[in-house]
């Protein structure tokens, strides 16, 4: 299946990036995840290949044996167990797997003596809103992603999914510590809420550090675009809860919601301030970025992402009306090196990538104007 699936996915925009979501001008996406382990099996870092294989088969059986609908529209799961490095990177760029999982994919290819055994895999719903990583840091990592600031629907999906697995599997659970995880930072609910926010206003007004200071005070973490250990780029910040034990899932969500709502207000004020005090400079910045994206012949991914982030600010503040947030979201995914190569279905060297990236962005922006 693999190659075809990757090609099909790469030509579409992930469902969660479509426009019309709450606070989409500031919040790109909301991700909820549960970490779960199966009782009686060592955690993935210590488990033997045989155990990992059993876990994988168990997870597959749990998913296949169930008829419980996730929602009214039918969701089909794609099972991916064979990855090339490029396909792994592609999935990371689309937030369907984590950087740690990609590391595992890469190291497995080099020294795996049991290739017949699927020890590592991910189940992805065909709309890309759900992914289930098997044998990442924990046996199971369920993730539901949605556009904008939206928790309720995703939370219900996440719980249904968890219940489906739990109805036929036995989870490692303790009445005192809750769901037991490989790292004590996830124990308890195993629940992590991550918001990807676009905060150019706060960055440009130099208020970002103060805002992040406030976030840290409220038991939240700030990370880069792909989670732990990654840099913040293009004014994108990932904010998530640091506490998973001692609070209910609802309390965790409410806590994050409160913080993000405040952050949104601060960002809006900062944007208003910029529009009032330095409108021309802001317009200049936005139109220059847009002009480069529309005419450049070579663009590396960092430059493209930064320009895109500036154009996004322009669209959100209504300086620029010629392009939609959905189009920008689509470009944001496709400009990444692995997505670009899988979109074109060919391996490209860095120079060729910069050329194709510039050309693809030009085409998409051209089409969006027509």
Partner 1 sequence: MKECNICHKPEVFIIVNTVDREGNVQELALCKDCAQKKGISEIKKIKLTPAEIIMKLQMTSDANDQKITCNFCNITWANFRTTGRLGCEHCYESFKNQLDSLIKEIHGATLHRGKTVTSGRKTTYDRFVIKKLTKQMRQAIQNEDYEKAAVIRDQITKIKKGIV
- Residue 366 lies near partner 1 (rule: CB under 8 A): no
- Residue 68 lies near partner 1 (rule: CB under 8 A): no
- Residue 62 lies near partner 1 (rule: CB under 8 A): yes
Whole-angstrom distance, CA of residue 194 vs CA of residue 303? 25
Whole-angstrom distance, CA of residue 28 vs CA of residue 182? 30
Map residues 225-244 to x or -, x wherever contact with partner 1 holds by CB under 8 A.
---x-------------xxx
Q: Which residues pair with 240 in a beta bridge?
A: 194, 221
Size of residue set near partner 1 by CB under 8 A: 59
Member of 39, 48, 281, 322 binding partner 1 (CB under 8 A): 39
Query: E-strand spans in 65-190?
Result: 77-80, 121-125, 130-134, 140-147, 173-174, 178-179
Member of 16, 23, 43, 123 binding partner 1 (CB under 8 A): 43
- How many residues comprise the chain? 370
Rounded to the nearest 10 degrees, the angle between the axes of helix 249-277 and helix 279-295 is 100
Member of 12, 48, 248, 258 binding partner 1 (CB under 8 A): 248
Q: Which residues of 39-60 are buried (b: 16+ CB within 10 A; e: fewer)?
A: eebebbeebeeebbbbbbebbb
- Residue 20 lies near partner 1 (rule: CB under 8 A): no
| DSSP reduced 3-state for 214 | helix
3 CB neighbour count, 10 Å cutoff: 12
Integer angstrom CA distances of residue 274 from 90, 279, 282: 36, 6, 7
Member of 7, 65, 107, 295 binding partner 1 (CB under 8 A): 65
- Residue 166 lies near partner 1 (rule: CB under 8 A): yes
Taking the least distance from each CB to partner 1, the nearer of 169 and 199 is 169
Contact partners, residue 206, CB within 8 Å, separation at least 6: none
Taking the least distance from each CB to partner 1, the nearer of 183 and 291 is 183
- Residue 169 lies near partner 1 (rule: CB under 8 A): yes
Q: How far is the CB of 236 from partner 1 (least distance, A)?
A: 19
- Residue 67 lies near partner 1 (rule: CB under 8 A): no
Map residues 282-321 to x or -, x wherever contact with partner 1 holds by CB under 8 A.
----------------------------------------
Taking the least distance from each CB to partner 1, the nearer of 154 and 189 is 189
Answer yes or no: are the C-beta atoms of 192 and 204 closer than 8 Å.
no
Whole-angstrom distance, CA of residue 152 vs CA of residue 58? 29
Map residues 102-141 to x or -, x wherever contact with partner 1 holds by CB under 8 A.
-----------------------------------x----
Q: How far apart are the first and last CA of the chain?
A: 35
How does DSSP assign 112-131, residue by residue? Answer: -S-TTS--SEEEEETTSSEE
Taking the least distance from each CB to partner 1, the nearer of 38 and 328 is 38
Map residues 173-202 to x or -, x wherever contact with partner 1 holds by CB under 8 A.
xxxxxxxx-xxxx-xxx-x-----------
Provide the binding-site residues for partner 1, judged by CB under 8 A: 37-43, 45-46, 54, 57-58, 61-62, 65, 137, 159, 162, 166-180, 182-185, 187-189, 191, 209-210, 212-213, 216-217, 219, 221, 228, 242-249, 251
């Amino acid at each position: 299946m693999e190659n075809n699936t990757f090609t099909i996915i790469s030509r579409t925009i992930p469902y969660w990036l479509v426009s019309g979501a709450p606070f989409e001008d500031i919040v790109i996406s909301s991700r909820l995840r549960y970490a779960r382990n199966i009782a009686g099996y060592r955690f993935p870092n210590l488990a033997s290949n045989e155990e990992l294989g059993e876990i994988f088969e168990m997870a597959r059986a749990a998913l296949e044996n169930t008829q419980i609908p996730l929602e009214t529209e039918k969701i089909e799961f794609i099972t991916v167990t064979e990855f090339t490095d490029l396909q792994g990177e592609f999935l990371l760029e689309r937030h369907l797997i984590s950087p740690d999982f990609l590391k595992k994919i890469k190291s497995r290819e080099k020294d795996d003596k049991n290739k017949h055994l699927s020890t590592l895999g991910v189940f992805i719903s065909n709309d890309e809103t759900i992914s289930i990583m098997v044998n990442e840091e924990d046996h199971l990592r369920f993730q539901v992603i949605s556009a904008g600031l939206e928790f309720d629907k995703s939370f219900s999906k996440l719980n249904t999914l968890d219940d489906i697995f739990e109805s036929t599997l036995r989870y490692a659970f303790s009445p005192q510590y809750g769901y037991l995880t490989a790292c004590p930072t996830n124990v308890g609910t195993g629940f992590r809420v991550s918001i990807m926010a676009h905060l150019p206003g706060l960055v440009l007004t130099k208020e970002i550090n103060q805002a992040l200071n406030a976030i840290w005070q409220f038991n939240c973490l700030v990370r880069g675009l792909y989670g732990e250990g990654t840099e913040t780029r293009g004014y994108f910040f990932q904010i998530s809860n640091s506490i998973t034990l001692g609070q209910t899932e609802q309390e965790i969500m409410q806590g994050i919601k409160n913080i993000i709502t405040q952050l949104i207000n601060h960002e809006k004020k900062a944007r208003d301030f910029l529009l009032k005090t330095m409108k021309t400079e802001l317009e200049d910045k936005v139109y220059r970025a847009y002009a480069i994206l529309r005419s450049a012949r070579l663009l590396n991914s960092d430059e493209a992402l930064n320009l895109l982030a500036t154009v996004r600010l322009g669209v959100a503040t209504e300086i620029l009306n010629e392009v939609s947030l959905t189009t920008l979201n689509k470009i944001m995914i496709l400009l990444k090196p692995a997505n670009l190569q899988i979109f074109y279905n060919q391996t490209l060297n860095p120079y060729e990538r910069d050329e194709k990236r510039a050309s693809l962005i030009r085409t998409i922006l051209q089409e969006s104007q027509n």
